Amino acid sequence: MGLYDKYARLAGERLQFSDNGLTPFGTCIDEVYSATEGRIGNKKVILAGTNNYLGLTFNHDAISEGQAALAAQGTGTTGSRMANGSYAPHLALEKEIAEFFNRPTAIVFSTGYTANLGVISALADHNAVVLLDADSHASIYDACSLGGAEIIRFRHNDAKDLERRMVRLGERAKEAIIIVEGIYSMLGDVAPLAEIVDIKRRLGGYLIVDEAHSFGVLGATGRGLAEAVGVEDDVDIIVGTFSKSLASIGGFAVGSEAMEVLRYGSRPYIFTASPSPSCIATVRSSLRKLLPHNQSCGKS
């Protein structure tokens, strides 16, 4: 059996697309003009497939601060924070993210995917049981698999189904980890978070909310769905990304002071090169746009 034989059907479909001049996952954007417009070939197009929710990719302040960091600190860190230390801006960003979410601790990761992978895989080990929404992002599924947890799926956005499965766990429900997303990327619908929190209050467990698509979008200050429905105190860990509303790259998790131990137990955090200085600078600049005294977005 060949190395790629298991993908034979997929390879055939790819060739069919290619023979018809189509590349569904290989569209080349020849030029980007702004947060919303670009060029493919000779055609000017609207960039409708992005997650650039606040239009900050061409924000003047973010670009200037990113360029300054690039010139001052170089193109990359070339190593993990455990191996070659944290740059001062890494620590500054973590402090700012923690303060923004009113949490004691924040950990910054190199990507949003790595944030989920790093946090969940470290907590959802072979002794853990995880209840997750059936429509959860691939990074959440991969994290649970990497950690070796028992995975129980409940129907998408069905709080009653979650409750039934929690009840079946009996006493184990008190230690179960519930994982949902603020806004689901495929359909754009929101989790019934108030109902899920009610279940957690009655039956126990820990709650992780991935606010990747809701950070900067929902809530009075942009902290996401948990803020919007008034249940932030009931969420144990919030995970998010910098590659959507904040228009850069990277991820984060915020939680209690006890979460600091994950710096020593999360392999994706320990063994991944830290975010580049320019990325950190643009994130910090964009984050300031969410603060109450500065609500401006876009190219200003």
Active site residues: 185, 213, 244
Of 196, 191, 229, the closest CA to residue 210 belongs to 191
Residue with tokens 């924000």: 59
The secondary structure element, H or E, covering residue 99 is helix 88-100
Residue with tokens 């959802």: 124
Which residues contact residue 122 at a Cβ distance below 8 angstroms, ignoring those fewer than 6 apart?
147, 262, 265, 266, 267
Whole-angstrom distance between the N-terminal and C-terminal Cα of the chain? 57
Q: Six-digit token pair at 295?
A: 């609500």
Contact (CB, 8 A) for 119 and 254: no
Q: 46: how many CB neighbours lie within 10 A of its CB?
A: 9
CA–CA distance, 37 with 56 (Å, rounded to integer) = 13
In whole angstroms, how far apart are CA 38 and each of 34, 41, 42, 44, 83?
A: 7, 10, 10, 6, 40
- Supply the angle between the helices 60-73 and 277-288 in degrees, to the nearest 10: 150
